[in-house]
C-alpha cells in the first residue's frame, strides 16, 4: 500500500471535498503558492475562484467567510500560525458560532478553520508556538486535533461537511508522520468519537494530538510492568465522554498528557470529569506550565513542553497506588 503523510492527508481531504462539493472553497494568506504545502496544487486544479489568496487581515477574511457560509457556501480558512486564531476569536466564538444558536437553527455557518502546524515548531518562539485548542473547546466551538494521517483526512472531511463552525488544529509535531494506507479506504471520521490506539487494563493515558505517539512509546516501554491503554479523543469538543468512561471503568487509573497550559487547560477538565466516573487512584496530568511562553532556544523550548520523561514519571506515580 502507498504511504500517506499527515500533510498530504490534509491536502487530499481538501482536494476531495473541493471535487465533491462545488460550494467548498479555500482561502487564506498565500494559499495559492501553498506556503504550508497543505494547499499544494489546488489552484491549478480548481482555479483562482475557489482557492483565494487574501489580504493580511485575518479579522476581515474570517468575517467574509462567515458571510459566505450564511449565503450557502462552505469556506475553509487556512491560518499559517496558531496565534492568528487569537486575532479572530471574536469572529469565530461570538459571531459564526452563535448564529445558529441565536436563530434556533435557522442559520447555518459551515466554516472550517484549519491550522496546519499548531504548537511548537523549531525556533518559532513565543508568538508562533501556541496550541490553543482548549480555548475554542471552552466556548463550545467544535474542535478537533488529529493525531494520525488517516484521522487528519477523516476529521478534516467531517469538519468541512459539518453545518457548524469547526476548528481543526493539526499539531506541528505530527506533520511529518507517515502511514501505510489504502487510499480507497479513507473515510470521514465522525466528530465526537474517540479512538483507543492501545488496549490496556491497568491505567488509561488520554493523549491529545501528536502526544498520542509519545504515549504509545511510553506504554510500550512499560509493557513488562503494566498494561497501559492509550485513548485519543480526536475531537476535544464535543468530547467522547462515553469512550473515556468505558476506558477508565476498565483500568481505574488515569493520566492525561496535553500540550496546553496547566491552568484551565483541557487536561484539568478531563481529570475533573473522570473523577465523576470513579477512579481507583488519584489521577495525574502532564502539561505545559501555567502561562507558558515557549522560548526561542531549542533546549528551553523542549523543556517547557510535555514529554515522554514527564509522562513516564506520572504513570509510574499513579501506578504506585495499585
Q: What is the pLDDT of residues 69-83, one digit of tens each?
A: 999 999 999 998 888
Q: Is 128 a catalytic residue?
A: yes
Domain range for 229: 195-319
**Res 210 pLDDT > 80:** yes
In-domain check, residue 279:
yes
Spell out the alpha helix ranges (H) of the chain.
6-20, 42-46, 58-70, 84-87, 89, 97-102, 133-138, 149-161, 211-221, 241-251, 266-277, 298-304, 308-319
Q: Are residues 104 and 212 in the same domain?
A: no
Query: What CATH number is given to the structural domain containing 99?
Result: 3.40.50.970
Shared domain for 98 and 216, answered yes or no, is no
Same domain, 51 and 155: yes
Residue 260 is assigned to a structural domain of this protein: yes
Residue 292: predicted pLDDT: 66
Residue 200 confidence (pLDDT) above 60: yes
Predicted confidence at residue 126, as pLDDT, reads 56
Rounded Cα distance, 177 and 174, in Å: 5
The answer to whether residue 202 is domain-embedded is yes
Per-residue pLDDT of 189-199, as tens digits, reads 999 999 999 99
Residue 48 pLDDT > 60: yes
Domain boundary among 119, 151, 185: 185
Q: Which residues pair with 228 in a beta bridge?
A: 203
Predicted local confidence at residue 162, as pLDDT? 98
Q: Given the C-alpha cell 491549478, which residue does it identify?
A: 44
In a shared domain, residues 175 and 256: no
Do 239 and 120 reside in the same domain of the chain?
no
For the chain, what percent of residues have pLDDT higher than 90? 70
Residues 16 and 161 in one domain: yes
Which residues have a Cβ under 8 Å from the Cβ of 99 and sit 6 or more positions away? 66, 70, 107, 108, 109
Cβ atoms of 36 and 78 closer than 8 Å: yes
189-192 LR contacts (CB < 8 Å, sep 24+): 189/150, 189/151, 189/154, 189/155, 189/157, 189/158, 189/234, 190/158, 191/142, 191/144, 191/155, 191/158, 191/159, 191/162, 191/166, 191/235, 191/238, 192/235, 192/238, 192/239, 192/240
The answer to whether residues 117 and 251 belong to one domain is: no
Number of domains composing the chain: 2
Say whether both 23 and 163 belong to one domain: yes
The SS3 call for residue 133 is: helix
DSSP code of 90? I
Q: What is the pTM of this model?
A: 0.91
Look up residue 163 and give its three cell numbers. Answer: 453545518
Among 185, 214, 245, identify where a domain stops.
Answer: 185
Residue 87 has pLDDT above 70, yes or no: yes
**Crossing angle for the helix pair 149-161 and 6-20, to the nearest 10 degrees:** 30
Percent of the chain clearing pLDDT 70 (strictly above): 94
**Nearest to 95, CA basis, from 65, 75, 135, 132:** 65
Residue 114, pLDDT > 90, answer yes
Mean predicted lDDT score pLDDT of the chain: 91
Whether 202 and 80 share a structural domain: no
Q: What does the pLDDT look like over 257-296, one tens digit per residue? A: 998 888 889 999 999 999 998 898 989 888 877 766 666 6
Residue-wise pLDDT for 251-263, tens only, equals: 999 999 998 888 8
CA distance 187 to 149: 12
Contact 156, 16 (CB under 8 A): no
Q: Which of 135, 152, 185 is the last residue of a domain?
A: 185
In a domain, residue 190? The reply is no
Q: What is the 3-state secondary structure (H, E, C) of 197-260?
A: EECCCCEEEEECCCHHHHHHHHHHHCCCCCCEEEEECCEEECCCHHHHHHHHHHHCCEEEEEEE
pLDDT digit string, tens, across residues 121-153: 666 655 665 878 999 999 999 999 999 999 999
Q: Which of 128, 131, 197, 210 is catalytic?
A: 128
Same domain, 139 and 21: yes
Query: Domain check: are 179 and 204 in the same one?
Result: no
Do both 67 and 179 map to the same domain? yes
Q: Flag the least confident range among 75-89, 90-104, 118-132, 205-219.
A: 118-132
CATH number at residue 231: 3.40.50.920
Amino acid at each position: 500500500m502507498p504511504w500517506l503523510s499527515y500533510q498530504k492527508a490534509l491536502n487530499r481531504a481538501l482536494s476531495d471535498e473541493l471535487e465533491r462539493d462545488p460550494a467548498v472553497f479555500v482561502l487564506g494568506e498565500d494559499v495559492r503558492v501553498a506556503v504550508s504545502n497543505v494547499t499544494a496544487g489546488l489552484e491549478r486544479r480548481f482555479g483562482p475562484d475557489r482557492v483565494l489568496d487574501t489580504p493580511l487581515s485575518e479579522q476581515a477574511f474570517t468575517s467574509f467567510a462567515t458571510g459566505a457560509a450564511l449565503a450557502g457556501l462552505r469556506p475553509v480558512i487556512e491560518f499559517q500560525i496558531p496565534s492568528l486564531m487569537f486575532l479572530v476569536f471574536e469572529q469565530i466564538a461570538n459571531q459564526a458560532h452563535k448564529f445558529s444558536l441565536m436563530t434556533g437553527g435557522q442559520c447555518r455557518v459551515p466554516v472550517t478553520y484549519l491550522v496546519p502546524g499548531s504548537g511548537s515548531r523549531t525556533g518559532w518562539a513565543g508568538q508562533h508556538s501556541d496550541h490553543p485548542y482548549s480555548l475554542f473547546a471552552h466556548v463550545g466551538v467544535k474542535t478537533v486535533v488529529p493525531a494520525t494521517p488517516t484521522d487528519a483526512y477523516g476529521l478534516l472531511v467531517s469538519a468541512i461537511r459539518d453545518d457548524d463552525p469547526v476548528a481543526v488544529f493539526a499539531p506541528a509535531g505530527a506533520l511529518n508522520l507517515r502511514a501505510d494506507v489504502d487510499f480507497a479506504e479513507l473515510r470521514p471520521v465522525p466528530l465526537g468519537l474517540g479512538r483507543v490506539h492501545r488496549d490496556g487494563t491497568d491505567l488509561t493515558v488520554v493523549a491529545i494530538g501528536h502526544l498520542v505517539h509519545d504515549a504509545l512509546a511510553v506504554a510500550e516501554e512499560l509493557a513488562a510492568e503494566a498494561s497501559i491503554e492509550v485513548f485519543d479523543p480526536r475531537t476535544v469538543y464535543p468530547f467522547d465522554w462515553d469512550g473515556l468512561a468505558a476506558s477508565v471503568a476498565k483500568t481505574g487509573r488515569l493520566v492525561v498528557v496535553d500540550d496546553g497550559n496547566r491552568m484551565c487547560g483541557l487536561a484539568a477538565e478531563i481529570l475533573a470529569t473522570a473523577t465523576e466516573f470513579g477512579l481507583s487512584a488519584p489521577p495525574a496530568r502532564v502539561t505545559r506550565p501555567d502561562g507558558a511562553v515557549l522560548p526561542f532556544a531549542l533546549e528551553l523550548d523542549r523543556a517547557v513542553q510535555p514529554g515522554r520523561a514527564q509522562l513516564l514519571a506520572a504513570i509510574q506515580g499513579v501506578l504506585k497506588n495499585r
